[in-house]
Amino acid sequence: MALFNKAKPVLKCTMCDKTREEGCGSADYHIEQISTDEPEWLPEGYRLSAIGEYTWFCMRCNSYPELKWPKESGASSGIMVHLGEAHGIGLLRALPGSPTSFGMRQLSRVPPPPLRKPGFNDRVQLKDWLDLFGTVGATTNAQIDPVIITLARFGGSGPADELAARVAAGHIAADWIPSLVNRPWRWMLRTAQEASRRGDRILSVRAAMFICHWAEQFGPRLGPADVDALGLGDVPSAVHVDAALLGLSDVQHLPPDTAVAWDTQSTILARDALPTMATRLQLLHYDGKQVPLEALATAQAISARPAGR
Ligand SMILES: [Zn+2]
Ligand SMILES: [Zn+2]
């Protein structure tokens, strides 16, 4: 019986032809959920009118669909229909000349493929990285820069010379670079949100505190040369707000004595992080950022409590 002796089939993505080892493995990995700032290639008006819905970008014709779908399964069928109709590939190869199901809009540049859904390894990497950052402390650039570059690489970015080498080798497109430097923050936020869903609220709060701290303290001090050297850009404003929301909502569930941030010199406990997160969210609101009203009311109620309660 030779039935089960064959090597496992290598699953290739019908959209980008890459296997799992090469970074893809299924056209479904190209599906992206729409939020206020993601996917960044989708025009803002489209994003705001379709928050929570799903879309995708066709890397074969640099276009996105005029339709958007309320469920991932719908977006998945949409990809199959488009690959069949426009590119003659996949299960739904259409007859030449058949009418197309929905229109597509072309972009002049090619965005990077979407970040993958964070898994167990991402949560381990995030925790280990926060531990590492905590032990480095506020020391010299020579000590701290390699740690920051590690974070940049987790999100698919890296120092400018490294990115240039990857472009030269044909692994990434030069068009991707401006958005690659923001991806480490999206990676960190998504991994923190996933940790929260799985009940690891210490990790979600630690990451949320780190994102906010960077956005407020470190980020504004970095110039373009630093961004090139580190491969890490500004925290996108929607990521900053979402991190503050996540931090405020999760820190309330932790015992007050839980350590939620630490370095070589100090430790922040949940009881101290709570009013800080509440103040932060109100500052973001006064700064004109879109903070949901319910969360804002929670933040105001926390700030109004007498100290020590
Ligand atoms: Zn693919
Ligand atoms: Zn296409």
The tens digit of pLDDT for each residue in 193-248 reads: 999 999 999 999 999 999 999 999 888 888 889 999 999 999 988 899 999 999 99
Please identify, among 59, 75, 106, the residue that sits at the C-terminal boundary of a domain: 106
Ligand nearest to the CA of 30: 1
Residues near 209 by beta carbon (within 8 Å), at least 6 away in sequence: 247, 260, 261, 268, 273, 277
Domain count, the chain: 2
Ligand nearest to the CA of 79: 2
Please give the C-alpha separations between residue 11 and each of 21, 22, 108, in angstroms, as whole numbers.
10, 11, 30
What does the alpha-carbon distance between residue 53 and residue 67 come to, in Å, rounded to a whole number? 10
User: Do 44 and 77 have their domain in common?
Assistant: yes
Q: How far is the CA of 218 from the centre of ligand 1 (A)?
A: 35
Predicted pLDDT at 63: 95
Amino acid 58 reads C
What does the alpha-carbon distance between residue 64 and residue 297 come to, in Å, rounded to a whole number? 38
Q: How far is the CA of 19 from the centre of ligand 1 (A)?
A: 8
Cβ atoms of 215 and 236 closer than 8 Å: no
Please give the C-alpha separations between residue 302 and each of 96, 250, 279, 305, in angstroms, as whole numbers.
63, 14, 9, 5
Q: How far is the CA of 22 from the centre of ligand 1 (A)?
A: 9
Range of the domain at 31: 27-106
Q: How far is the CA of 288 from the centre of ligand 1 (A)?
A: 37
Q: How far is the CA of 190 from the centre of ligand 1 (A)?
A: 20
User: Do 80 and 197 have their domain in common?
Assistant: no
Helix or strand (DSSP H, E) at 105: strand 104-106
Predicted pLDDT at 35: 87
Predicted pLDDT at 6: 58
Residue 4 domain flag:
no
Predicted pLDDT at 23: 72
Predicted pLDDT at 91: 78
User: Do 164 and 87 have their domain in common?
Assistant: no
User: Do 222 and 77 have their domain in common?
Assistant: no
Ligand nearest to the CA of 12: 1
Q: What letter would DSSP give residue 34?
A: -
User: Do 287 and 201 have their domain in common?
Assistant: yes
**Helix or strand or coil: residue 171?**
coil
Q: How far is the CA of 40 from the centre of ligand 2 (A)?
A: 19
Predicted pLDDT at 268: 92
What does the alpha-carbon distance between residue 72 and residue 52 come to, in Å, rounded to a whole number? 10
User: Do 82 and 201 have their domain in common?
Assistant: no
Amino acid 249 reads S
User: Do 261 and 134 have their domain in common?
Assistant: yes
pTM > 0.85: no
Q: How far is the CA of 308 from the centre of ligand 2 (A)?
A: 59
Predicted pLDDT at 219: 86
Ranges under pLDDT 50 in the chain: 1, 309
Q: How far is the CA of 231 from the centre of ligand 2 (A)?
A: 30
Please identify, among 78, 106, 134, the residue that sits at the C-terminal boundary of a domain: 106
Amino acid 187 reads W
User: Do 91 and 35 have their domain in common?
Assistant: yes
Ligand nearest to the CA of 20: 1
Instruction: Count the neighbouring beta carbons within 10 Å of the beta carbon of residue 83.
Output: 22
